[in-house]
Copies of this chain bind each other. A is one copy, B any other.
Amino acid sequence: MERIKPHTLSGFMELLPGEQALMDRITDTVRRVYGLYGFTALDTPLIESSDVLLAKGGGETEKQIYRFRKSDSDLSLRFDLTVPLAKYVALNYSKLTFPFRRYQIGKVYRGERPQRGRFREFYQADIDVIGDGSLDIMNEAEVPSIIYRVFTELGLHKFVIRVNNRKILNGFYDMLGLSGKSGDIMRTVDKLEKIGPEKVKAILRGDFGIPEDAANQILDFMAIRGANDEVLESLAGYLGKNETFDRGFTELKTVVMYLKAFGVPEDHFAVDLTIARGLDYYTGTVYETQMTDHPEVGSICSGGRYDDLAGYYTDRALPGVGISIGLTRLFFILSDCGLLNTDLPTAPADVLILPMTEDRAFAVEAATKFREGGVRTQIYSENKKFKAKMAYANRLGVPFAVLLGEDEIREGRVSLKDMTTGSQELLTVKEAVRRVTEAAAVRRAAAPVRE
């Protein structure tokens, strides 16, 4: 037979079982926490009609899209979860209840150039709250507070959610008579951390013809630092000159107040005037999330407030706020930074039953009882020597083995072997179930991230 060399496409993450178990723990935590805040789960197709997916048109993203024909249809793979959400909400408007809170965890596709840590297929985990005509600002604080909880429950603690408001930036540039250039300025200022103020100034002056004085004022503005209340106090000095700025200031102050109320500690969020998010559709609060010890990886969770979710499909005003975790990239980063808790048990079973006799009826019976007790149980089915059976248990990494020989069958009990300590005890199945369940609960309480 002619053989094909098996391979997986580059840019596509495919994990080994132990890694996958860790990834699943992370995904499950995200799902559980999202659910805890009253979001409904959505699942939309990975393929959409190209006219729907590309309604917005546009630039870089469009080049990366997986687009193809099947029969007579022009199809595309989704490149984010926001456009499908916009379509869904516009399509089902009359059947939904607003504010509509949905989360979606799913794969998206971007044909980026293959590069370390860049993926062509990756999971996004999004939450969005969509209002019908209007949406209260409290949501703009609740959404990042959910992210705070997600990361904390994952075991990740060294991070800061940076918060800004686009109205403040737009208002400020308007004060300087630069409102037509605010997009260019934001994209330039975004590089501050990477290239430093001198180079940012040079670009503002040279590329965009910003006057010396205005460029200095921009850099002074971006240099505002300090505790959140201090930054707000500095910003208050600009009040009264521009309506948009003033509105942005009030919003930011309100978001900061509610962030505290939602239990996000002061050292986990920072008002940061330098962040703006590239996407045009953000209109107010914006977020980025930085890993404190790893600024080099960039933002691990971003989002913001928008006024018009679905303008390409409907004339209804659907403002919202959303945030997205790139789970595949996050997993890669955590692994790369050595932050995954590799001690976390990832065996597919809590108990491996090893029948030592030819008749395996008792093994099957015991397995059924373990499973009825909620214990993830595997029967080792192969007719191998004892040594091979134990080697299998070790390779699988199961915390417990159950040995069933003539003696155990006669007594109707099981020998429970703790694979970590090597100790062995003769117990009733009921006792063994309790023992294994308690141990599993302890192990499962450990977080998938260890800083």
List CB contacts (< 8 Å) of A359-388 with chain B. 360-361, 364-365, 368, 371, 374-379, 381-383
Q: Provide the bound-state CA to CA distance between A68 and B71, in Å.
A: 12
Contact segment of A89-97, A184-192, A234-242, A272-280: A89-97
Q: Which B residues lie within 8 Å of A47 (CB)?
A: 9, 12, 66, 109, 121
Q: Which B residues lie within 8 Å of A45 (CB)?
A: 8-9, 12-14, 121
Q: Is A178 an interface residue (CB 8 A)?
A: no
Q: Which B residues lie within 8 Å of A102 (CB)?
A: 17
Q: Which B residues lie within 8 Å of A349 (CB)?
A: 38
Q: Is A43 an interface residue (CB 8 A)?
A: yes
Contact segment of A258-266, A292-300, A431-439: A258-266
Interface size on A, residues (CB 8 A): 97
Which of B73, B87, B379 contacts A142, CB < 8 Å? B379
Closest CB-CB distance, A345 to chain B, in whole Å?
A: 12
Q: Provide the bound-state CA to CA distance between A311 and B26, in Å.
A: 35
Query: Which residue of B is nearest A56, CB measured?
Result: B4
Q: A55-B4, A97-B395 are in contact. Are A136 and B382 (CB under 8 A)?
A: yes
Q: Which B residues lie within 8 Å of A352 (CB)?
A: 38
Query: Which residue of B is nearest A86, CB measured?
Result: B6
Interchain CB contact under 8 A, A383 and B313: no
Q: A99-B382, A111-B70, A136-B383 are in contact. Are A20 and B7 (CB under 8 A)?
A: no
Q: Which B residues lie within 8 Å of A374 (CB)?
A: 36
Contact with B along A300-344 (1 / 0, CB 8 A): 000000000011111100000000000000000000000000000
Which of B21, B37, B48, B66 contacts A8, CB < 8 Å? B48
Q: Is A223 an interface residue (CB 8 A)?
A: no
Q: Is A16 an interface residue (CB 8 A)?
A: yes
Contact with B along A9-47 (1 / 0, CB 8 A): 100111111001101100000000001111111111111
Query: Which residue of B is nearest A100, CB measured?
Result: B17
Which of B1, B17, B315 contacts A96, CB < 8 Å? B17
Q: Which B residues lie within 8 Å of A377 (CB)?
A: 36-38
Q: Provide the bound-state CA to CA distance between A107 and B43, in Å.
A: 11
Please provide the 9 A-B residue pairs with the shortest distance between their CB atoms, ordered closest to farther. A38-B378, A68-B68, A38-B349, A40-B348, A136-B381, A12-B45, A6-B313, A4-B55, A6-B91
Task: Please report A residues at the B interface, Cβ cutoff 8 Å.
Answer: 1, 3-9, 12-17, 20-21, 23-24, 35-49, 51-52, 55, 66, 68-71, 73, 75, 86-88, 90-92, 95-97, 99, 101-102, 107, 109, 111, 121, 131, 134-136, 138-139, 142, 258, 261-263, 310-315, 348-349, 352, 360-361, 364-365, 368, 371, 374-379, 381-383, 392, 395-396
